[in-house]
Amino acid sequence: MLVLLETPAGYGLFKVTNSKILECNADQVSSYFEDSAMAKSSVALKSFMKFKSSDDALKEANALMDSKLGKGLKKFLTKNIVKGDLREEVAISDKLLGVEVQNKLNIQVIYNPNTLEIVRGIRLYFHDLVSGLSEEDTNAMALSLSHSLTRFRLKFSPDKVDIMIVQAIGLLDDLDREINKFGMRLKEWYGWHFPELTKIVPDTLLYAKVVKLIGVRTNAKTSDLASILPTDLCSEIHQAAEISMGSEIFPDDLESITELAVRLEELIEYRGNLEEYLKYRMNVLAPNLTYMVGELIGARLLSHAGSLMSLAKHPASTIQILGAEKALFRALKSKSSTPKYGLIYHASLVGQSTPKLKGKISRILAAKLALCIRVDALKENETPTVAIENKKYVENRLQILSSQGSNHIQEVRSKTPYRPSWESNEQNNKKKKT
């Protein structure tokens, strides 16, 4: 029997010289590899092919990790077994790789616990069985190969773009919370000095710019507010600054407030850039999903599932309630009605519908979303070809259901109201007949 050994230095083919190893149990194999002398008497090196370069080692290692037959391994086995016309069995430690070798090269492959222990023993005394390879050189090759393989796997990971979107939408939500906190803190802090400004400029970004520009409220007249605000708001600020009821502040306080305003402005600008980046990424990765529900809801669905491929494996019923897991489990526990929608509730198509139709539209939208997501996951196309037709279908269904509801209301209103006098007239007619 022959044994195939894969190492960072190359491929080795060993022949089992002691037939007793094949007859014993897996627990007893280690007794034949207690030292290097016993290992040499049990197995012998038949052939060894060293990798020519680190690129070849990387290609072969990448193929082995996927349980595939690489070019180097195919050439090595063909030269030593197929062309040598050997009829012996070959022990391979990877079961899936052994199946591929047997199918493609017509080599009889064996895989069992006994062969795994033999491979472990050969690997333990590898440097004693193969001459010309020191342990230091092999360790250096293994370290270099591990770094190259990790770099290659990260570079060509299919989920790396998905991870970027997941991190981006998470950061966007964090920025929204921080901007809200900083904005409230700035208005409360500066409001002690100029409380009227909060009502005049409700927008957080404009408020931060005004605070940074004027500083003390007495500088409102001399500051160039027209560069950031309309003229009517500028005049209101000028009038409010003259009759303000706020207290005076020290320069140290103003410096801290101004620094907070600068940080808040930078955060808001960065959030805008991040949103543009997320929009671009979503249009490239999932154009159909983005066209149907928008980049923010699409990114949240993708983040909730973990990746685009994981989201594509979900059925439409799961996509419909994705994001409402707590409400679902609470409803199942209390045996009440389950939620009809999750994250897709914020989609524009669901928002356009009436409260009574939101459940139906969510179900229709989820069914079409499932098709669009699977197209995005399995087809490389940057145009939303499928989503255009599906969105038109959902819009038509929304229009039909809305019109049916309004017609039903009109029919009910058009019915003649009930009058109690009719009932009394019918009773009088019956008495006359009798």
pLDDT at 416 over 60: no
pLDDT at 104 over 60: yes
- Rounded mean pLDDT of 8-33? 85
- Rounded mean pLDDT of 295-308? 92
pLDDT at 367 over 60: yes
In this prediction, residue 157 has a pLDDT band, given cuts at 50, 70 and 90, of low
pLDDT at 274 over 90: yes
Number of other residues whose CB lies within 10 A of the CB of residue 340: 16
- Alpha-carbon distance 98 to 221, whole Å? 84
The answer to whether the predicted template modeling score (pTM) of the entire model surpasses 0.75 is no
Taking alpha carbons only, the member of 215, 212, 207 closest to residue 249 is 215
Model pLDDT, residue 336: 86
pLDDT over 70, % of the chain: 91
Q: Which of 320-334, 339-353, 395-409 shows the lowest mean pLDDT across its residues?
A: 395-409
pLDDT at 184 over 90: yes
- Rounded mean pLDDT of 317-338? 87
Model pLDDT, residue 275: 94
Q: Which residue has the tokens 């290659």?
A: 152
- Alpha-carbon distance 268 to 186, whole Å? 14
Q: Do strands 90-91 and 2-6 pair parallel, antiparallel, or not at all (unpaired)?
A: parallel
* Spatial contact of 233 and 201, defined as CB atoms under 8 Å apart: yes
Model pLDDT, residue 414: 47
- The tens digit of pLDDT for each residue in 49-61 reads 888 888 888 888 8
Model pLDDT, residue 333: 86
pLDDT at 318 over 50: yes
* Spatial contact of 19 and 59, defined as CB atoms under 8 Å apart: no
In this prediction, residue 199 has a pLDDT band, given cuts at 50, 70 and 90, of very high
pLDDT over 90, % of the chain: 32
- Alpha-carbon distance 292 to 299, whole Å? 12
- Rounded mean pLDDT of 263-286? 93
pLDDT at 418 over 60: no
Q: Which residue has the higher pLDDT, 172 or 130?
A: 172
In this prediction, residue 186 has a pLDDT band, given cuts at 50, 70 and 90, of very high
- The set of residues, in sequence order, having a beta carbon less than 8 Å from that of 69 and lying 6+ positions away, is 63, 97, 100, 101, 104, 105
- The tens digit of pLDDT for each residue in 369-407 reads 999 999 988 887 778 889 999 999 999 999 999 888 655
Q: Do strands 10-16 and 43-50 pair parallel, antiparallel, or not at all (unpaired)?
A: antiparallel
Model pLDDT, residue 412: 43
279-283: list long-range contacts, CB under 8 Å, 24+ apart.
Answer: 281/161, 281/164, 281/165, 281/168, 282/165, 283/382
In this prediction, residue 311 has a pLDDT band, given cuts at 50, 70 and 90, of very high
Total residue length of the chain: 434
In this prediction, residue 21 has a pLDDT band, given cuts at 50, 70 and 90, of confident
Mean pLDDT value across the chain: 86
- Alpha-carbon distance 346 to 293, whole Å? 9
- The tens digit of pLDDT for each residue in 205-256 reads 999 999 999 999 888 888 888 889 888 899 999 999 888 898 888 989 999 9
| Domains parsed from the chain with CATH numbers | 2-155 (3.30.420.220), 163-279 (1.10.287.4070), 288-411 (1.10.246.90)
Number of other residues whose CB lies within 10 A of the CB of residue 382: 9
- Alpha-carbon distance 56 to 50, whole Å? 10
- The tens digit of pLDDT for each residue in 109-129 reads 888 888 888 888 888 888 888
Return the SS3 of 221: coil
pLDDT at 409 over 50: no
Q: How are the residues of the chain apportioned to helix, strand and coil, as percentages rounded to the nearest 5? A: 70, 5, 25
Model pLDDT, residue 413: 44
Q: Which residue has the tokens 């154009």?
A: 287
In this prediction, residue 174 has a pLDDT band, given cuts at 50, 70 and 90, of very high
pLDDT at 276 over 60: yes
**Where would I find the H helices in 106-230?**
113-124, 126-129, 135-155, 160-191, 197-200, 204-214
